[in-house]
């Protein structure tokens, strides 16, 4: 069964460093998403991506963040100059359509900023 | 703006007992509603969704949920809990005019006692 994969499963970085979180969505999906969950808090939407551009983003997704689909299979989230408060579980998701179409989630990358 | 409240961050039931996980939503337009389950070290998996068709929705693993517009609720139930149902459950909402963004509740951790 097709699934969304994410690497690494756990990333530890020093404050101020840049990190890239990687995701491989399901191959025939067209819509891609990043969500994050700070420990003990809700899962929060960050950004959605379609047709090689951002279609929606939340207030959290500021200039520190960027997304890219560099090669037609990977979908990446870059976080520049990481802060302690960026520590969270980051989930990638993909879907074949909009609205009620199911979003398939990856297992997440746990980012720890020291 | 849309929002979701899940009453009870932890719910404990005995094996064989009724499972009831509560979800209330706020939405300015008719919503789409979802329940996701997360098992340890895995991504979020869709249990069921409400898309404005039948108000009683059946999902995987014997779960169902009823959309009640008058109560702005979408509670998740299962007649008889199994040990394998122990997991975290998330209710989520999206709006037809808000793209694909999912807004999640805080989650409910279900524990099943033998």
Tokens at residue A114, please?
């020291």
Contact, A67 vs A54, CB < 8 A? yes
Q: Does A45 touch chain B (CB under 8 A)?
A: yes
Contact criterion met (CB < 8 Å) for B46 and A102:
yes
Kindly list the residues from chain B whose CB atom is less than 8 angstroms away from the CB atom of residue A103.
Answer: 46, 100, 102
Tell me the C-alpha distance between B3 and A99, whole Å: 17
Tell me the C-alpha distance between A83 and A45, whole Å: 19
Tell me the C-alpha distance between A103 and B45, whole Å: 9
pLDDT, average across residues A4-27: 96
pLDDT, average across residues B4-16: 95
* pLDDT exceeds cutoff 90 at B100: no
CA B79 to chain centre: 15
Report the percent of chain B where pLDDT is more than 70: 96
CA distances from B21 to B8, B84, B97 (A): 8, 16, 27
Q: Mean pLDDT for chain A?
A: 93
* pLDDT exceeds cutoff 70 at B53: yes
Tokens at residue A88, please?
């969270």
Say which DSSP state B102 is in.
-
pLDDT, average across residues B9-27: 96
pLDDT, average across residues A42-50: 94
More confident residue, A48 or B27: A48
* pLDDT exceeds cutoff 70 at B98: no
The pLDDT value recorded for residue B36 is 96
Identity of the residue in A41, A55, A103 whose CB atom sits nearest the CB atom of B102: A103
The pLDDT value recorded for residue A75 is 96
Contact criterion met (CB < 8 Å) for B43 and A56:
no
Contact criterion met (CB < 8 Å) for A31 and B100:
yes
Phi and psi torsions of A82, nearest 5°? -60, 150
A59-98 residue pLDDT tens:
999 999 999 998 878 999 999 999 999 999 999 999 998 8
* pLDDT exceeds cutoff 70 at B97: no
The pLDDT value recorded for residue B42 is 81
Contact, B106 vs A42, CB < 8 A? yes
Q: pLDDT band at B99, cuts 50/70/90?
A: low
Kindly list the residues from chain A whose CB atom is less than 8 angstroms away from the CB atom of residue B100.
Answer: 31, 33, 48, 55-56, 95, 98-99, 101, 103
* Strands A10-13 vs A109-113: parallel, antiparallel or unpaired: parallel
The pLDDT value recorded for residue A98 is 81
Q: Does B54 touch chain A (CB under 8 A)?
A: no
* pLDDT exceeds cutoff 80 at B105: yes
Interfacial A residues in 67-86 facing B (CB < 8 Å)? none
Identity of the residue in A55, A91, A104 whose CB atom sits nearest the CB atom of B99: A55
Cβ partners under 8 Å of residue B63, min gap 6: B19, B35, B47, B48, B76, B77, B78
The CA distance from A38 to the nearest CA of chain B, in Å, is 11
């Amino acid at each position: 069964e097709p699934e969304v994969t994410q690497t690494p499963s756990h990333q530890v970085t020093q404050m101020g460093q840049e990190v890239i979180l990687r995701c491989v969505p399901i191959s025939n999906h067209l819509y891609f998403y990043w969500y994050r969950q700070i420990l003990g808090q809700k899962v929060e939407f960050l950004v959605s991506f379609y047709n090689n551009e951002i279609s929606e983003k939340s207030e959290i997704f500021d200039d520190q963040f960027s997304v890219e689909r560099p090669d037609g299979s990977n979908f990446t989230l870059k976080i520049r100059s990481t802060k302690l408060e960026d520590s969270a579980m980051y989930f990638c998701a993909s879907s074949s359509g909009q609205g009620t179409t199911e979003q398939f989630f990856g297992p997440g990358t746990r980012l720890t900023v020291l | 703006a849309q929002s979701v409240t899940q009453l009870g961050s932890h719910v404990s039931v005995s094996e064989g007992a009724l499972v009831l996980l509560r979800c209330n939503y706020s939405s300015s337009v008719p919503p789409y509603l979802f329940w996701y389950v997360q098992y340890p070290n895995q991504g979020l998996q869709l249990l069921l969704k409400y898309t404005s068709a039948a108000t009683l929705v059946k999902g995987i693993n014997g779960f169902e949920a009823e959309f009640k517009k008058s109560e702005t609720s979408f509670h998740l139930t299962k007649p008889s809990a199994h040990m394998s149902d122990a997991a975290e459950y998330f209710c989520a909402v999206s709006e037809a005019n808000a793209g694909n963004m999912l807004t999640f509740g805080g989650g409910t951790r279900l524990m099943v006692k033998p």
